[in-house]
């Protein structure tokens, strides 16, 4: 559920970005000093760990795992849930006193990596090739794999079972292509009066899935070039625009909702495009609602979805890097990831945990399967204001020429990239 607040987080990081920049300029965060110059302390370490917790269940689970590692290793580990992770990290870097270990959201990873704030320890974790390839790619910057992914989520198509049946639809009607999605949405529009067939979030964190399905994306794979103004992206936005114009799909705000899960839970939409965080929201607010998850329909270039993930960052300025790596090693073992999955609903980032996870949580299989063709967030620094501007444009997608939106995104992204 946490990812429906990403716009707020984006604005927060724009505000705190100056802190990180000043930290980079004035505190020795550069490629020549960050990786080796910090004096390492010998003996037992008192690790400071800052997490962006989803709630009490996550905080309790991480603290329990940290205590077990500390007891076994002879170190201590203090786990602190952040009130505002982005802001607190920015302040810590600016003050040259970052925590040893901290959550790094994929959408902000490149900002930290580009200024040398992160220790590139990724390949020092045992069996690092066991992490899903797309997650490793997400936490790779300029060819260097920095940090171990903690867990992940993807987008899937969520269907209200009762409204589906009310419209006379069966499992055979679950759409697997764009054409089928349109056809099914039309059946739902006529079969369930007053209910929107599909609710989709009004940002690139939802609409972007269609761009991937069309074979497009905002940047090149290496994050060096803007690729926004492409025929593939235009195809994607034109398709979504068509759904919006025909009222086959609507944005949450048009359904008096803060995010897609709210509209879905309140019965205002039969289908939603959301991540597996919707489970917690439905359990808390709509425990009797029957629903199923399915892989997103494929576009002209095949299947596509978006992934959302966090890594265990280690500060380049930590005096306890060896112990910090040991801590992350313990947190990312398949058994520990399964313990976290059972405690607070996340999906393990190790491929070796897939069978255990899908056996324990079979309803989440479509989300797990999505990681094979998922695209991570924009992986380049200084892109926050660019993406916030694009999100603002998407709000008007129903009435704006998609090519105009993409041309603006292209221009802004090129400027941010320096080309």
Structure tokens at 135: 């997650």
Please tell me whether residues 175 and 127 are part of one structural domain: no
pLDDT of 34 over the 70 cut? no
The pLDDT-based confidence of 368 (bands split at 50, 70, 90) is very high
Please give the share of the chain, as a percent, with pLDDT higher than 90. 89
* Distance between CA atoms of residues 60 and 79, nearest Å: 9
Question: Residue 186: what pLDDT?
Answer: 98
Please tell me whether residues 329 and 293 are part of one structural domain: no
Average of pLDDT values for 85-98?
94
Q: What CATH number is given to the structural domain containing 272?
A: 3.40.190.10
24: closest CA among 382, 416, 419? Answer: 382
Please tell me whether residues 163 and 16 are part of one structural domain: no
Contact, 305 vs 373, CB < 8 A? Answer: yes
Question: Residue 39: what pLDDT?
Answer: 74
Please tell me whether residues 134 and 269 are part of one structural domain: no
pLDDT tens for each residue of 237-248: 999 999 999 999
Question: Residue 11: what pLDDT?
Answer: 33
Q: Assign 190 to helix, strand or coil.
A: helix
Average of pLDDT values for 263-274?
98
Please tell me whether residues 251 and 399 are part of one structural domain: yes
DSSP state of 382: T
* Distance between CA atoms of residues 237 and 249, nearest Å: 13
Question: Residue 237: what pLDDT?
Answer: 98
Please tell me whether residues 219 and 283 are part of one structural domain: yes
| Strand-pair category, 46-51 with 101-105 | parallel
Please tell me whether residues 233 and 344 are part of one structural domain: no
Structure tokens at 104: 């790094």
Exposed/middle/buried for residue 95 (C-beta within 10 Å: 0-12, 13-18, 19+): exposed
pLDDT of 298 over the 60 cut? yes
Average of pLDDT values for 267-291?
96
pLDDT of 357 over the 90 cut? yes
pLDDT of 276 over the 80 cut? yes
pLDDT tens for each residue of 191-213: 999 999 999 999 999 999 999 99
Contact, 291 vs 161, CB < 8 A? Answer: yes
Please tell me whether residues 389 and 246 are part of one structural domain: yes
Q: Computed over its alpha carbons, how large is the radius of gyration of the chain?
A: 22
Please tell me whether residues 116 and 54 are part of one structural domain: yes
pLDDT of 301 over the 70 cut? yes
Question: Residue 40: what pLDDT?
Answer: 79
Q: How many other CB atoms are there within 10 angstroms of residue 190's CB atom?
A: 10
pTM here? Answer: 0.90
* Distance between CA atoms of residues 189 and 135, nearest Å: 37
Q: How many domains would you assign to the chain?
A: 2
Question: Residue 27: what pLDDT?
Answer: 34
The domain boundary residue, chosen from 360, 375, 390? 375
Please give the share of the chain, as a percent, with pLDDT higher than 70. 90
Please tell me whether residues 193 and 265 are part of one structural domain: yes
Please tell me whether residues 149 and 159 are part of one structural domain: no
pLDDT tens for each residue of 127-161: 999 999 999 999 999 999 999 999 999 999 999 99
Q: Assign 371 to helix, strand or coil.
A: coil
| Helix 231-245, helix 204-213: angle, nearest 10 | 120
**Block residue for tokens 């129903």:** 398
User: What is the overall mean pLDDT for the chain?
Assistant: 92
Transcribe 155-181 into DSSP letters: EEEEEEHHHHHHTT--GGGS--BHHHH
Average of pLDDT values for 325-342?
98
pLDDT of 260 over the 60 cut? yes
pLDDT of 366 over the 90 cut? yes
The pLDDT-based confidence of 37 (bands split at 50, 70, 90) is low
Tell me what percent of the chain is helix, strand and coil, each rounded to the nearest 5. Answer: 50, 20, 30
Please tell me whether residues 269 and 283 are part of one structural domain: yes
Domain of 293, in residue numbers: 155-306+381-417
204: closest CA among 382, 371, 84, 384? Answer: 384
């Amino acid at each position: 559920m946490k990812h429906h607040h990403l716009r707020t987080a984006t604005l927060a990081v724009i505000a705190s970005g100056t802190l990180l920049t000043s930290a980079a300029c004035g505190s020795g965060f550069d490629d020549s000093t960050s990786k080796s110059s910090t004096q390492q302390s010998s003996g037992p370490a008192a690790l400071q760990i800052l997490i962006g917790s989803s709630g009490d269940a996550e905080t309790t689970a991480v603290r329990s795992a940290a205590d077990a590692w500390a007891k076994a290793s002879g170190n201590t580990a203090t786990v602190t849930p952040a009130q505002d992770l982005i802001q607190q990290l920015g302040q810590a870097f600016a003050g040259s006193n970052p925590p040893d270990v901290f959550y790094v959201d994929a959408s902000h990873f490149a900002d930290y990596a580009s200024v040398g704030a992160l220790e590139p320890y990724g390949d020092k974790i045992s069996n690092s090739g066991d992490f899903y390839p797309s997650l490793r790619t997400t936490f790779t910057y300029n060819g260097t794999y920095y940090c171990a992914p903690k867990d992940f989520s993807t987008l899937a198509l969520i269907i209200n079972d009762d409204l589906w049946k009310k419209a006379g639809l069966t499992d055979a009607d679950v759409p697997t292509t764009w054409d089928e999605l349109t056809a099914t949405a039309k059946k739902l529009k006529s079969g369930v009066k007053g209910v929107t067939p599909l609710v989709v979030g009004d940002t690139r964190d939802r609409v972007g899935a269609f761009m991937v399905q069309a074979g497009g994306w905002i940047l090149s794979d290496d994050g060096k070039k803007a690729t926004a103004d492409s025929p593939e992206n235009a195809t994607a936005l034109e398709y979504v625009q068509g759904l919006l114009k025909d009222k086959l799909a609507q944005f949450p705000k048009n359904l008096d909702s803060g995010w897609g899960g709210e509209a879905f839970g309140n019965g205002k939409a039969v289908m939603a495009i959301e991540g597996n965080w919707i489970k917690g929201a439905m359990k808390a607010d709509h425990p009797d609602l029957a629903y199923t998850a399915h892989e997103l329909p494929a576009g002209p270039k095949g299947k596509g979805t978006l992934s959302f993930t966090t890594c265990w960052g280690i500060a380049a300025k930590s005096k306890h890097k060896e112990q910090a790596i040991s801590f992350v090693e313990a947190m990312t073992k398949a058994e520990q990831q399964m313990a976290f999955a059972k405690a607070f609903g996340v999906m393990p980032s190790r491929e070796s945990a897939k069978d255990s996870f899908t056996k324990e949580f079979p309803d989440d299989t479509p989300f797990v399967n999505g990681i094979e063709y998922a695209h991570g967030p924009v992986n380049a620094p200084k892109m926050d204001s660019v993406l916030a501007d694009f999100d603002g444009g998407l709000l008007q997608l129903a009435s704006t020429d998609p090519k105009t939106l993409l041309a603006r995104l292209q221009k802004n992204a090129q400027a941010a990239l320096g080309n």
